[in-house]
Amino acid sequence: MKINVINQQDLREIDTKKIKDIAKKLLLNEIGQGNFELNILITDDKSISEFNKYRGKSTPTDVLSFSYGLNEPVIGDIVISVESIEKQAPDFGNSFEEEFYYILIHGLLHIVGYDHENSEEDAKKMFEVQDQYFHQLIKDRRR
């Protein structure tokens, strides 16, 4: 398992080691050890808007996940906008760091097959799992 983190922004300090650690723990738990790569791009609103055009949208978003299949050499790409996260963190009562890792977990869950757009049941399951990982890997560990 190889996690590549590409930081294309200078708006916020990013802990690439922590990103890799969280990704590895979640992926090990969800799909086990494997010979695959995952790319995580940290960027700004302008850049993520360009990627969002593939979804037919011209606005920024916090995270995009492109899953290529768990049997592929590269299982997916995740794009995260620090600008969007910075704007929305207060709305959820999170610090920037908490919101960043919450959104990272969200993107990782999409890569391993979770979805929240198909049904309410799927959405409920995905957000429950996301909350569990957040508390296991981020929130409860900070105490």
Question: Using an 8 Å Cβ cutoff, are 96 and 80 in contact?
Answer: no
State yes or no: 135 annotated in a binding site.
Answer: no
State yes or no: 106 annotated in a binding site.
Answer: yes
Which residues, 6 or more positions from 21, have their beta carbon under 8 angstroms from its beta carbon?
A: none
Which residues, 6 or more positions from 116, have their beta carbon under 8 angstroms from its beta carbon?
A: 122, 123, 126, 127
At 102 the three-state DSSP class reads helix
Give CA separation, 8 vs 15, 28, 44, 81, 143, in Å: 13, 27, 8, 10, 31
Q: Residues at the annotated binding site for Zn(2+)?
A: 106, 110, 116
- Residues at the binding site are 106, 110, 116
